[in-house]
Amino acid sequence: MMKYHLTMRLLVTGGAGFIGANYVHHVLNAHPEDEVIVLDKLTYAGNLENLKPVEHNPRFKFVKGDICHEELVGKIVSKVDAVVHFAAETHVDRSIMDAADFVRTNVVGTQVLLDACRKNANVRFHHVSTDEVYGSLGPSGAFDEHTPYDPRSPYSASKAGADYLVRAAWHTHKLPVTISNCSNNYGPYMFPEKIIPLFITNLLEGKKVPLYGDGMNIRDWIYVEDHCKGVDQVLRHGKIGETYCFGGRSERSNAELTNTILFEMGYGKEMIEMVKDRPGHDRRYAIDPSKSEAAFGWEPETPFLHGLRKTISWYKTNESWWKNVKTGAYREYYERQYGNTS
């Protein structure tokens, strides 16, 4: 196991996104000597408001840029001890409509980062992946670190390609890498296109919630803070070249999830609008986190209902955040400060 006891300077790619921003908050709170540089292109999912609580922290720096920009990436990587790679195009529906950006960012961008790490004395690299690379499960069983890849959407295929490039960097160049695959995250700062924040914000606006197909697709949910703690454990204590899975041990069908959100927010089934299923919609995901639990003593600490209530409360309290995201109003500020963000 590689263990880091000294102060670390981290590059967090995609750190203005949902999980990345939560990870930045965790690192700056849990490691008072660490420094964090965030590199984010500020596309539709990147939002500087996610980093507002740390924007004046002297151990934090933000750089607006593209992970495919070799010169920029090389300059930043030369100044850090490790890279934690969250940056990715992640929305399955968008990948179905147009996969090109997913291939560019998720595959090419990952290789640019790996090359920069290799050229700068083998900077430590941790890659954050997804359970979707494993495909779709039957009614029983769970994904683990030995599950063969079987991606079913352009998004998951691009993430699988990135994972293979990371593994190749270890086997070919002995670059010190690790990978983590996680189940569905939820919590503060989640982009409102995703099911939980979409349903919460729709209900807050008095709108119905769109439920795909028959509602029986099953997902395993993990509270984002628990996932971020796991990623940090892998970065600091994980065995180089290894993969670690993080799951919430909290499977629910989309119908059950929907009914729970409705109940917690004081609505009934009359607020459900059944809509046509999306193409290639995987039936079930679940992750077995036993390896991570044994390696680090990590466990999903937040029970689902408690985490969901915290999430609902956050969206109620932060109405201006999600309304700005939905309307794109926050982008005007970015364009004034950083130029065109498209």
Domain ranges (residues) in the chain: 9-191+222-250+285-303
H-state helical runs in the chain? 18-30, 70-77, 92-97, 100-102, 109-119, 154-173, 195-204, 224-237, 254-264, 290-296, 304-317, 319-327, 330-338
The pLDDT tens digits for 100-110 are 999 999 999 99
Tell me what pLDDT residue 325 has: 85
Tell me what pLDDT residue 277 has: 86
Compute the average pLDDT of residues 279-283. Answer: 81
Which amino acid makes up residue 26?
H
Residues 250 and 220 sit within 8 Å (Cβ to Cβ): yes
Over 50: is that where the pLDDT of 341 sits?
Answer: no
- Asked if 338 is an active-site residue, the reply is no
Choosing from 131, 220, 232, 293, which is the catalytic residue?
131
Chain centroid to Cα 160, Å, comes to 15
The pLDDT-based confidence of 303 (bands split at 50, 70, 90) is very high
Over 90: is that where the pLDDT of 43 sits?
Answer: no
Chain centroid to Cα 47, Å, comes to 14
- Asked if 81 is an active-site residue, the reply is no
Burial class (CB in 10 A: 0-12, 13-18, 19+), 126: buried
pTM of the entire structure?
0.93
Q: Tell whether domain 9-191+222-250+285-303 is in CATH 3.30.530.20.
A: no
Choosing from 34, 49, 134, 155, which is the catalytic residue?
155
Choosing from 89, 132, 225, 293, which is the catalytic residue?
132
- Which two structure tokens, joined as six digits, stand for 72? 């920029």
CB atoms within 10 A of CB 88: 27
Q: Which one has a higher pLDDT value, 139 or 62?
A: 62
Over 60: is that where the pLDDT of 336 sits?
Answer: no
The pLDDT tens digits for 252-275 are 999 999 999 999 999 999 999 999
The pLDDT-based confidence of 209 (bands split at 50, 70, 90) is very high
- Asked if 155 is an active-site residue, the reply is yes
